[in-house]
Structure 1
Amino acid sequence: MSAIKLPWKNAMRRPARFWLTALSICVAFFLYTVIFAINAALNATGSDNNQFRLMTTHKISITKSVPLNYQNKMNVIEGVDNVTYVSWFGGFFRDERNQLQAVAVDPQTYFDIYPEYVLAEGARTTWRQIKSGIIIGQALADKYQWRVGDKVPIQSTIWMSNTTSSFTWEFEVTGIYQTDAAETNQQMIFMRHDYLDENRGYGRYYVSWLVAKLSRGANADGVSHAIDKVFENSTAETRTTTEQVFVKEQAQQFVDLSWILKLVVLAVFFTLLLIASNSMSQSIRERMNELAVMKSLGFSSGKLIASVYMEALLIIFVGAASGVLIAAFGLDVVQQKLATFLPGIHIQASHYVQIVVMIFSLALICCVSPALSIYRLTISKALRT
């Protein structure tokens, strides 16, 4: 009997135990894959572009705005190549459950600093001609079936429109951006900041944060301190950090996700080891007489242990592969739930390598106790029992 067929036959002696154990492993690897994808977003260094971007917000809180004219003062600081600004709009489409990630930006500079948002030829020109125009992500366009030229009503929970005297704003889709980078949010909405300023009742000429693009070779820490020093004694003192730190801090306003993720991973795999090890130990105890017979027929302890290892490997592989596949296909749901404050959730290629290593390692650990039992097995004692 082949090295694969024998472990499969042994594993399927108790189908219920096999599938329940595989299901437990499936759940564990599903959680691990989802957690890995979230953690990758938390710790992502990002593209080559965002390594040269600094985020400047109000020193007290991001909910407090800073003056728009800070842009001009930051542009003259040594090491700063370009500066743009952003204001949070938020809002939802038709129902509050359909939350949107809408921001007001400078149409002249924003996409120069964020080249990962790729627009079709002529889209920026059209956007600059239509003040109520918006640029949306391809994923968002597919979700709501929006096309260029569509009129889209967005309800804001912050800003009232002077035009309609309500919280409902009407925009026209003037472009759809594409992106090849997995960590880039594909569900953003970009509106013109001058249109927001003209139509909101308060907060004009103030922005939520500014983004400075560093010159090549500039020191990020040095430029950050220089920016904050310029506004040190102003009415709106600032705090400048790298984009990675900025995104991570926004996510951790809710909870220290990184710590919780590590704790969950530890608990999941400790439980997994207990379940898989117990299953393998129970399976071997039931077959001690058979193993004794096989030893008497000339099978060495090494071959029997290898067969048990293949059996454990088979169970763990079935469960792990199922869990990873379900997570990979279901990750879109997680992205939609968390994209508002943590974009860029994705599975990195290195994760699959880790999964393969973990499968072989877990199978090895689960076989420690059965291997010792086989090695200590005495033929006469086992057959007599």
Structure 2
Amino acid sequence: MKFLHLVWAGIWRKKGRAILTLLSIVNAFLIFGLLQGLKTGIDNVAQGTEANVLMVFSRVSQIEGLPMGHGSQIRTVGGVEAVTPMLIFTSTYRTPTQFVPAIAVNVDEYVAVYPESKPTEAQLVAMRQTRNGAIVGANMARNYGWKVGDTVPLRSMFWMNLDTGSTWPVKIVGILPKGGPGMMVNYEYVDEGRTQQKGTTSFFLLKTKDAKQAGAIASRVDALFANSPYETRTITPRQMAQSQLKQIGDIGLVINAIVGAIFFALLFSVGAVMAQQMRERIPELAVLKTLGFTDGGVLALVVAETLIFCVFSAGIGLGIAELLFPLIREAIGFRAAAGPILFAGFGFAVALALIAGLPPAIRAMRLQIVDALAGR
């Protein structure tokens, strides 16, 4: 620690070059943090689902509606505890970029399938009594400045209103303190008001009594509607998420390839800077040896400069990424978080420092005082 000031002075010996190198490392680790955080968020979408919940949608297409009559038949399947229809009601608010991820449900049936959503009894009563009622998550209410009692005009991306075109006024009757879905509105309100596909739902969610029997129950549900005009496919929400991700390619492979290319280029950049810096400091290093620094001491000094510089720069980049994650969550609709990625990032920074810094450090260790001071 007593030589820290000497190491720090060596880092900033050429301020212009040091700043440019710092910015390149910060940028690389910022991209690393954002991409890996995004990958973690995508993985969480696929994994953060209940094992005893199944999704029933049309075998023809995931955007093809199912008749509401399917719900009563699904309830007759052994092992099914609760069933709820879910109609996709994604909308925008004020501007086309302000998305509102909403679903139209029977709120009592939804709570039976997802009791962890935890609306209060007062909120449930308000939803039953308010035809255009809506319950929103706390984050969305805070972002848009909504409060209980507000009437919010939404522009549905899928459904036209018989009376008001694409605009659907909904009244906020409850706010879930722990988030929950973006917004829940009454299914009857949307179904009665829309101009097309009345009496259908986007899909059904069903809760099984025993998660271990989910596969068998899914097969029985699909067999129930086999050879009918509305055949079904029943899978878990986790399988659904994984299927959708596969449609856009191997996200992990793409992200790892991008990160690998960035660090490969960064390795050459930092290595070249350290080599140039060592060549410029040959006389200084020779003086240090003359003053009593051992070969190992000079080696440690040069490695410490590279290590501190890379870790410091990486910390800035990863810190900026961590600050941006809340904004990313609002933009993409699911949680992107660093978590262990931060530790992996610092590990990469140490590896970068050692790979880029060891060759010039070894050369400095082997430096002969006479040759260095003679300019050879």
- TM-score, structure 1 length as denominator? 0.89
Q: How far did residue 104 of structure 1 move?
A: 0.7
Partner of 2:13: 13
Contact 2:137 2:183 in 1 (8 A): yes
Unaligned runs of 5+ in 2: none
Q: Take 2:284 and 2:310, find their aligned partners in 1: how far apart are those partners?
A: 24
Q: How far did residue 47 of structure 1 move?
A: 7.5
- Percent identity between matched residues is 29
Amino acid at match of 1:18: A
2:304 is the alignment partner of 1:295:
no
Contact 1:151 1:173 in 2 (8 A): yes
Task: Give CA-to-partner distance per residue, 1:303-356, whole Å, 9 cap, x none.
Answer: 2222222211221122212112212222233223222xxx222232x2222233
2:300 is the alignment partner of 1:346:
no
Task: Give CA-to-partner distance per residue, 1:62-112, whole Å, 9 cap, x none.
Answer: 111122222233333344332222111122112222222121112112133
Contact 1:42 1:248 in 2 (8 A): no
Unaligned runs of 5+ in 1: none
Change (3 A) 1:120 1:9: farther
Partner of 1:380: 370
Partner of 2:97: 97
Contact 2:47 2:238 in 1 (8 A): no
Contact 2:86 2:103 in 1 (8 A): yes
Contact 2:33 2:342 in 1 (8 A): no
1:239 to 227, 233, 237: 233
Q: How many residues align?
A: 375
Task: Give CA-to-partner distance per residue, 1:101-136, whole Å, 9 cap, x none.
Answer: 121112112133334434345212211221210111
Q: After TM superposition, which residue ranges in structure 1, 4 or more long, deviate above 4 angstroms?
A: 45-49, 251-256
Q: SS at the partner of 1:57?
A: strand
2:316 is the alignment partner of 1:319:
no
Q: Take 2:140 and 2:60, find their aligned partners in 1: how far apart are those partners?
A: 33
Partner of 1:305: 299
Moved more, 52-61 or 98-107: 52-61
Partner of 2:348: 358
Change (3 A) 1:60 1:262: farther
* Greater helix fraction, Structure 1 or Structure 2: 2
Q: How far did residue 146 of structure 1 move?
A: 0.7
Task: Give CA-to-partner distance per residue, 1:123-171, whole Å, 9 cap, x none.
Answer: 1221122121011121211122110011111112321222x24221111
Contact 2:282 2:372 in 1 (8 A): yes
Contact 2:84 2:113 in 1 (8 A): yes
2:279 is the alignment partner of 1:280:
no
Q: CA RMSD in A?
A: 2.4
Change (3 A) 1:51 1:21: farther
Q: How far did residue 217 of structure 1 move?
A: 4.4
Q: Take 1:290 and 1:225, find their aligned partners in 2: how far apart are those partners?
A: 76
Task: Give CA-to-partner distance per residue, 1:341-377, whole Å, 9 cap, x none.
Answer: xx222232x2222233223222222222223312432
Partner of 1:109: 109
Change (3 A) 1:47 1:256: closer
Partner of 1:170: 169
Partner of 1:369: 359
- TM-score, structure 2 length as denominator? 0.91
Amino acid at match of 2:169: E
Q: SS at the partner of 2:212?
A: coil
Change (3 A) 1:214 1:319: farther
Contact 1:21 1:315 in 2 (8 A): no
Contact 1:118 1:178 in 2 (8 A): no
Contact 2:46 2:239 in 1 (8 A): no
Q: How far did residue 248 of structure 1 move?
A: 3.8
Task: Give CA-to-partner distance per residue, 1:223-255, whole Å, 9 cap, x none.
Answer: 333333333322222223322232243355455
Change (3 A) 1:220 1:364: farther
Contact 2:48 2:238 in 1 (8 A): no
Contact 1:79 1:218 in 2 (8 A): no
1:257 to 228, 246, 251: 251
